[in-house]
Amino acid sequence: MKASQLILGTQRENPSDAEIVSHKLMIRAGLIRQVSSGIYNWLPTGKKVLQKVENIIREEMNFAGAQEILMPMVQPATLWEDSGRIDQYGQELLVFLDRHENKFCLGPTHEEIITDLCKNLLTSYKQLPVTLYQIQTKFRDEIRPRFGVMRSREFIMKDAYSFDLDKESLGNSYLIMKEAYTKIFNKIGLDYRVVKADSGAIGGSESEEFHVLAESGEDLLAFSDKSEYAINAELLTELQEGQDPFSLEGKPSPDGNGILKLKRGIEVGHIFKLGKKYSEVLNLRIPGEDHDIYPEMGCYGIGASRIVAAAIEQNHDEKGIVWPSALAPYQVALVEVNTKDKKEIKDKCLEIYQLFKENDIEVLWDDRDKRPGVKFSDMEVIGIPATVIIGERTLETGEIEFKKRQDEKPELVSHQDLISLIKT
């Protein structure tokens, strides 16, 4: 891609309402623009990153045997009345009337729709176990949208739903999803932890959350310093009948191993064993071997758009974003320093640009008629992992300046070394 043709949308100033670094940098790097409170446009660079997150999720969901579908965002409110959640979910559920005065809502999650879908779709127990998923826009009328896309009203979620014959089989489907999540967060390259969690408004018996560790995280997590014990402090408080979680630091771990340490986390994924809650209440019965069964369900969410913000919270410096390579919108920035507008410099850039493309390296060629300082700071705030600089020096000596995002100074390399340097 040539920067002269790209709608970059970078800006120098921090947005006045931004409290945390990822929100500031997502606006400054031209990833998102606000439309209204908690509602955002994704610009070309942001959409590219979001798509990388989605593709990693999709790849691992497919590998785990889950099948992709797409359910509607608009849902009949009657289904929520049937499940009994219309009141329980509260004001986060945005309800409205169509022209015939039928009540609808914008989907904050899809347990009702999927259960209803499976009523006609699953006709024999032999079709179980099965897991279906989608990657789609959700709407929750959050009381306090903040931190950009971290807690927005409209956001992108991957939600998967499993259907099993019995509890044992549900245990297996749950583990398969847990393993897929582990692979997803490893591939994305984030420092994360899995903790026991509260099932909240979704319901069910058991659940775990995946948290990206960050000071700005809204959740407090408690870890044993000796064992694998890890829990969301919200749940620990409930278990310990209302004790202030900050008093849970330094206390013995409830599993009897070690003492508890507290850390902050950003919830990026949540997996639940739902049991028969939705299949029973919405009457999803499947013909079994000798009688109908209500399947055991599980549900599994990942906040795809929140992951983009969480990755920035963990990976930035004073100049901007420092993408983990799996999420970088481009692998290399080719910066043309061509103050005298020399054809030879343009030609050299074109040659290297084509070399990158032939080697399947995503390259952003900054061919804009701007001062070098402006180009460098744009590439740095966007967080492109490597920069190649082509200017007078390249014509004189053949040497190319090469710099990794966090290097202080560029090194001089030859044309032949470029590809291997970028791929390592």
One character per residue 60-79, x = contact with ligand ATP (rule: CB under 6 A): --------------------
CB of 320 to ligand ATP, least distance (A): 22
Cβ-based nearer residue to ligand ATP, 306 or 403: 306
Rule CB under 6 A: which of 142-201 touch ligand ATP?
142, 151-152, 155, 157, 200
Whether a cis peptide bond, with omega within 30° of 0, leads into 129 is yes
Sequential DSSP letters for 234-271: HHHHHHTTT--GGGGTTSBPTTSSSBEEEEEEEEEEEE
| For the chain, counts of helices (H) and of strands (E) | 13, 23
For residue 223, the minimal CB distance to ligand ATP (Å) is 19
3-state secondary structure of 153: coil
Distance CA 304, CA 316 (A): 19
Q: Are the C-beta atoms of 173 and 133 separated by less than 8 Å?
A: no
Which residue is nearest to ligand ATP, using beta carbons? 303
Residue 77 to residues 84, 383, 408, Cα–Cα distance (Å)? 11, 43, 57
Among 176, 180, 268, 308, binds ligand ATP (CB under 6 A): 268
Q: Is 42 one of the binding residues for ligand ATP (CB under 6 A)?
A: no
Torsion of CA 326, 327, 332, 333, to 10 degrees: -170
Nearer to ligand ATP, 157 or 363 (CB): 157
H/E element holding 314?
helix 304-314
Binding to ligand ATP by CB under 6 A, coded x per residue (else -) over 77-116, reads --------------------------------x-------
Residue 232 binds ligand ATP, judged by CB under 6 A: no
* Pair 418, 400: CB distance under 8 Å: yes
Between 217 and 329, whose beta carbon lies closer to ligand ATP? 217
Given the complex with ligand ATP, which of 278 and 402 has the nearer CB atom?
Answer: 278
Q: Does 206 bind ligand ATP (CB under 6 A)?
A: no
CA distances from 385 to 394, 407, 413 (A): 21, 10, 17
Question: How many chain residues are in contact with ligand ATP, going by CB under 6 A?
Answer: 16
Asked if 269 interacts with ligand ATP (CB under 6 A), we say: yes
Counting contacts by CB under 6 A, is residue 306 touching ligand ATP? yes
Residues that bind ligand ATP (CB under 6 A): 109, 140, 142, 151-152, 155, 157, 200, 267-270, 301, 303, 305-306
